[in-house]
Structure 1
Amino acid sequence: MEVGTEEERALLPSPFTYNDARGQGMSDRRLYALRDSGAIEPIGWGLFHWAHDGQLTDPDLLEIAVRAPEATLCLSSALARHGLTDQIPATIDVALPRGHTRPKVRAPVSWHLFAPETFAVGRERLALDQRHHIGIYNAERCLVDAFRLRRWEGPELGNEALRRWLRRPDTQPSSLLSMAREFPLAEKPLRQALEVLL
């Protein structure tokens, strides 16, 4: 199996795009020879990974992160990562600031457009490898969004997640309500649910 020269691997660290390869002077013929020999593996449209770098832990998230640096895991996908739901979403819930273009990806994604002025509230970073990360909303923001968007997501998503969150020893309902104040559609139903559960 061809592995690519050291120079090629140094110029094109994983993952790299077709345009990256062309920008470094690699011909289409060389790129496709590397792909056909198994030296590089496609992980998205025009997105490649050096096979010698080992198995990718989550190529779908890596593709999304490379195509949309602002991408942030939200709703069911983020709640599952926080251990607040047993739902396994059929698609990856990803938020972008309203006004940003949704990139074309092979990964199964449900894009959600959130208001730019509150987009960063509760946003953290999830490491995908040594060089790449994707945004993820913290547990409190996920709960707020589940209640805020309950008309589309269904009321049970937020209720189940809130019950699980409250069982954790380090939860602070006051901090959750403080965050909810920034999202008028979430505060009242979240406060009512807390009154029932506490």
Structure 2
Amino acid sequence: MKEVAAELPSTFTTGAARALGVHPRDLYSWRDTGQVIELSRGVFRRADAPVPSFPDFLAVAYRSPTAIVCCASAAAAHELTDELPVAVQIAVPGRARAPRVDYPPTTVYRFDERTFEIGLSRLEAAPGEWVRIYDAPRTVVDLMRLRRRLGEPLAHTALQRYVKQRGAKPALLLEYASALGVHGPMRTALDIASAG
């Protein structure tokens, strides 16, 4: 049985393995014997690598490198909700081709290209491996923008938890809300959350 090539990183794609001379037959043999774990179609992780904190985010990031983790998925990562979404929620620029990811389950939102990178941040999904994610204020604003689709309770819970966090920046919430066209509802919700 052939051992996993030492030069492969903790997480890698079929293409990266081929570039290092790994034959697909060997790659799938490693998967079948448990030496690598298939996170998604064409995305693998070494079994001897540290356990990732967010394996689904990592898988989706390799499948769609320009996507940004958003909405309820970002809220869960930022501890703004106790709800765990059944699908990884990602944003792509409005005219970009939406990635087709069967596993892990993924929901794609199309966001305006002009404001797409407002609040862009990074999250360490596994030791030394980062994914693109919206920061907590952008996440709160997006939940407020999409509250009719994702639910008012989720948006308001996220806002309440955010304003109670150490280092919360209500002014940044309003700045993002203005840029994203939801200043009025955010101002009202923020006034209520701050009064409570």
Say which of 149, 155, 159 aligns to 1:158: 155
The answer to whether 1:13 aligns with 2:9 is yes
SS across alignment from 2:74: helix
Residue 44 of structure 1: aligned partner? 40
Say which of 41, 58, 63 aligns to 1:62: 58
- Deviation of 1:131 after TM superposition, in Å, equals 4.7
- Deviation of 1:141 after TM superposition, in Å, equals 0.8
* Whole-angstrom distance in 2 between the partners of 1:25 and 1:144: 46
Sort the Cα spacing of 1:23 and 1:147 in 2 relative to 1 into closer, same or farther, 3 A.
same
The answer to whether 1:178 aligns with 2:175 is yes
- Deviation of 1:156 after TM superposition, in Å, equals 1.9
8 Å CA contact 1:97–1:115 kept in 2: the answer is yes
- Deviation of 1:40 after TM superposition, in Å, equals 2.2
Residue 68 of structure 2: aligned partner? 72
SS across alignment from 1:181: helix
8 Å CA contact 2:55–2:126 kept in 1: the answer is no
SS across alignment from 1:9: coil
The worse-fitting range, judged by mean Cα deviation, of 146-155 and 47-56 is: 47-56
Residue 23 of structure 2: aligned partner? 27
Deviations 1:4-47 (A, max 9, x none): 3xxx321x323222222233333233233333332222221122
The answer to whether 1:141 aligns with 2:134 is no
Structure number with higher helix proportion = 1
SS across alignment from 1:95: strand
Say which of 102, 107, 126 aligns to 2:104: 107
Residue 196 of structure 1: aligned partner? 192
| Amino-acid identity (%) | 35
Deviations 1:93-147 (A, max 9, x none): 1111112222233111111111111111111001123453111111111111111
Amino acid at match of 1:153: L
TM-score, with structure 1 as normaliser: 0.86
Amino acid at match of 2:146: L
Which has the higher Rg, Structure 1 or Structure 2?
1
8 Å CA contact 2:57–2:69 kept in 1: the answer is no
How many residue pairs are counted as aligned between the two chains? 193
Sort the Cα spacing of 1:196 and 1:20 in 2 relative to 1 into closer, same or farther, 3 A.
closer
* Whole-angstrom distance in 1 between the partners of 2:9 and 2:159: 41
Which structure 1 segments of 5+ residues have no match? none
* Whole-angstrom distance in 2 between the partners of 1:82 and 1:180: 18
8 Å CA contact 1:78–1:142 kept in 2: the answer is yes
The worse-fitting range, judged by mean Cα deviation, of 98-107 and 59-68 is: 98-107
* Whole-angstrom distance in 2 between the partners of 1:64 and 1:19: 16
8 Å CA contact 1:75–1:146 kept in 2: the answer is yes
Say which of 80, 85, 110 aligns to 1:84: 80
Which structure 2 segments of 5+ residues have no match? none
8 Å CA contact 1:3–1:52 kept in 2: the answer is no
TM-score, with structure 2 as normaliser: 0.87
- Deviation of 1:53 after TM superposition, in Å, equals 2.1
